[in-house]
Structure 1
Amino acid sequence: MGSHRRRAEGDPVDSKPARLSDTEQAGIRLFEETLGYVYSAALRAAAAVGVADHLASGPKTVVELAQATGAHADNLNRVLRALAMRGVFHEDDRGRFELTPEAELLRSDVPGSLRSAVLTFTDKTFWNSHGELAHSVEHGDASFDKVFGTTFFDYFRDVESPETFYSGMQSKSDSENASIIRNLTFPAGATVVDVGGGYGGLLLEALRADDSLYGLLMDLGDHVVAGHRLGELGDDDRWELVTGDFFEECPPADVYLLKHIIHDWNDEQCVRILRNCRRAMRPGGRIVVLDTVIPPRNEPHLGKLFDIMVMSILPGRERTEEEFRALFDKAGLELTRVLDTGFAVSVVEAVAR
């Protein structure tokens, strides 16, 4: 007779599963990665309905949140519990949801809010382009152009309001600017150009940090610089707006800041921009590129994901230190420093050769 017996009523249930093989565990991890886009969709949904704003005063039930936001209670609960398992919102033992440090940044009324950035980076312009990423891999061009029938920048200039793009980009950029400026030093009395600087958040941070600086905010058109934030400085004598095309020329200055500019373009276009800066640069001046520097091999880095994003929408790329060195060399510049800021963006400095 065998040793097995039928479980009697009241006997404990053995709920421990049999050990999975390495292959089975790998399959689970791979499928979790496959569903990563679902998490992004849930994050966008929470940002879109403004859940975080209604939790500023403390935890609330999903019914209370649904009444406050006009959302469907059951579906909102399903979204929030998915986000809570990765630390965006937290469900307490009474079934109420509350803010976490990450969810706090989804509020629209806090310093450093990333709500606008979340909505921008999960917008259809990014979302649909990433869905066709195989096109970029197979053909070498941006899948955005295939999906939308125009280039990324032309789309936001001609099809959509540019505020949609620039407000989201500014939201992300603002979260990095203080760290960047803490890692930079400027010559006393220097003129600093924020090249393609959008609304001027980086330049504003620099002018606040050093009251001897004079700033130029340069971008392509009045529709961009008209939304600038330099008035927040409270000293209009220390800055001016410059409308211009960095592919044609740049104004004279001591320091050129190029934040998330070089990564937008291919090598030939980048060299043209850098040469224009070098040509206009005053003696002893320098160029500061603020982009991701891709680390080698298997090292985890958010910049490797940004690189995929850039691949899908633009002709550019994120670059390694050696690739930056080669770009600078072609533009008559010498790379002098690469510094990690703690964010995905690094400080990459160059001077004239």
Structure 2
Amino acid sequence: MTTPPVHPAQLIVDLGFGFILSGALATAAELGIADHLEQGPKSAGLLAEEVGAEASSLYRVLRLLASVGVFTEDASGCFGLTPAADYLRSAAPGSLRSAVLMLTQKIFWAPTGELTETVRTGRTPFDRIFGKPFFDHLASDPVAGATFHRGMSSLSDLENAPIARSYDFSACERVVDVGGGHGGFLIEVLKGSPSLQGVLFDHRHVLDEARIADAGLAGRCELVEGDFFKAVPQGADTYLLKRILHDWSDEVCVGILLNCRRAMKEGGRVLVVDTVIPPGNGPHGGKVLDVMMLASLQGRERTEEDLRKLFAQAGLRLARVLPTPAALSITEAVAA
């Protein structure tokens, strides 16, 4: 049985109400509802007692989420987990609870609510709302910063292994993960190439939560503190930039790429792991991310031609674009 198409008017209404679903999802994640359903379905009243909520309000939020496949509600009014809700459990493999908390925090929510200002002026309202630019705010607010970095790690854990398997690292000797966060992607790269040496390069407060040692890779991977706006570690043949360039303006990106170009050894390469927006008006995850960048940061998601131009300004040449099973592509650049 086929599902009838959504009427165009209903599509507009549904899109207009989209923020309500985001808010409901954020509430379920913050209250840890899925963790409390690990042993089986429970009523909204019992859940409310366990999480410190008002039962009627919680019921209404969970009823909405159940209507879109997040949780189930049985005839007695008890809520249970679905395959989607299982990703909200803190201990679930590939848990997305931290990712939901990151994506729905005010650093994205508030500027998006004022997107019209951005479209009219070409400038994000982030600095006005929070008093300083995006990453400066994260550095000054430990709670927001921790939420962001844990959320990015959570979001990346689903994609890291398939992306790492999409590139042949067997000819590489030393790889620097520039702005590599807690090291999730580098761990997958190193696991797939036993002879490869790695460098996880980021700010100290980020490296403090690095997962390299826990992965048993401390002997093959060095943690280096630094600022990729100023310089990157010298002498590697491979420089990874995963979800880095999309945060920044073209001018800033050229500076980061120049630092990589100056540091890499002869015959080296830069691998940019970001969405590459295809031509046409088909749906693509990069288009959603692009507007999120527009609202909160100075960056953007780019097309292949956009990346080609950035590389050229940094003394690099786009060699190829490799698709991956994730929404991101691997764009390889070599010395021009």
TM-score by length of 2: 0.93
- Give the Å deviation of 1:40: 0.1
Name which of 86, 105, 115 aligns with 1:123: 105
The yes-or-no answer on 1:229 pairing with 2:181 is no
Q: Structure 1 stretch 60-69 or stretch 31-40: which is displaced more?
A: 60-69
Count of aligned pairs between the two proteins: 330
CA contact (8 A) 1:66 1:76 kept: yes
**Aligned counterpart, 2:138:** 156
- Give the Å deviation of 1:189: 5.8
C-alpha separation between the residues in 2 aligned to 1:204 and 1:133? 37
Q: Helix, strand or coil for the counterpart of 1:240?
A: strand
The yes-or-no answer on 1:343 pairing with 2:326 is yes
C-alpha separation between the residues in 2 aligned to 1:225 and 1:188? 27
How far does the alpha carbon of each residue in 1:271-322 deviate from its partner, in whole angstroms, 9 at most, with x for none? 1111111111112221111111112221101111111111111111000111
The yes-or-no answer on 1:291 pairing with 2:265 is no
Name which of 262, 266, 274 aligns with 2:257: 274
The yes-or-no answer on 1:182 pairing with 2:165 is yes
C-alpha separation between the residues in 2 aligned to 1:27 and 1:145? 36
The yes-or-no answer on 1:90 pairing with 2:86 is no
C-alpha separation between the residues in 1 aligned to 2:162 and 2:57? 38
C-alpha separation between the residues in 1 aligned to 2:69 and 2:117? 34
Name which of 326, 334, 337 aligns with 2:317: 334
- Give the Å deviation of 1:66: 2.2
How far does the alpha carbon of each residue in 1:232-282 deviate from its partner, in whole angstroms, 9 at most, with x for none? 232422111111221222212111110110001111111111111111111
How far does the alpha carbon of each residue in 1:193-230 deviate from its partner, in whole angstroms, 9 at most, with x for none? 010111111111111222111110111x3112121111
CA contact (8 A) 2:172 2:237 kept: no
C-alpha separation between the residues in 1 aligned to 2:282 and 2:76? 41
The yes-or-no answer on 1:72 pairing with 2:62 is no
Matches within 5 A, 1:13-32: 25-32=7-14
Q: Helix, strand or coil for the counterpart of 2:291?
A: helix
Q: CA distance change for structure 1 residues 308 and 235 in 2, over 3 Å: closer, same or farther? A: closer
**Aligned counterpart, 1:4:** none
How far does the alpha carbon of each residue in 1:42-63 deviate from its partner, in whole angstroms, 9 at most, with x for none? 0001111111011112222223
CA contact (8 A) 1:204 1:233 kept: yes
C-alpha separation between the residues in 1 aligned to 2:40 and 2:261? 53
Return 5+ residue gaps in structure 2 as ranges. Answer: none
TM-score by length of 1: 0.89
CA contact (8 A) 2:174 2:198 kept: yes
Matches within 5 A, 1:314-333: 314-333=297-316
Q: CA RMSD in A?
A: 1.8
- Give the Å deviation of 1:94: 4.1
Considering only CA atoms, is the larger Rg found in Structure 1 or Structure 2?
1
Q: Helix, strand or coil for the counterpart of 1:237?
A: coil
C-alpha separation between the residues in 2 aligned to 1:299 and 1:25? 19
**Aligned counterpart, 2:90:** 108
Name which of 54, 58, 80 aligns with 2:36: 54
Return 5+ residue gaps in structure 1 as ranges. Answer: 1-21
CA contact (8 A) 1:208 1:233 kept: no
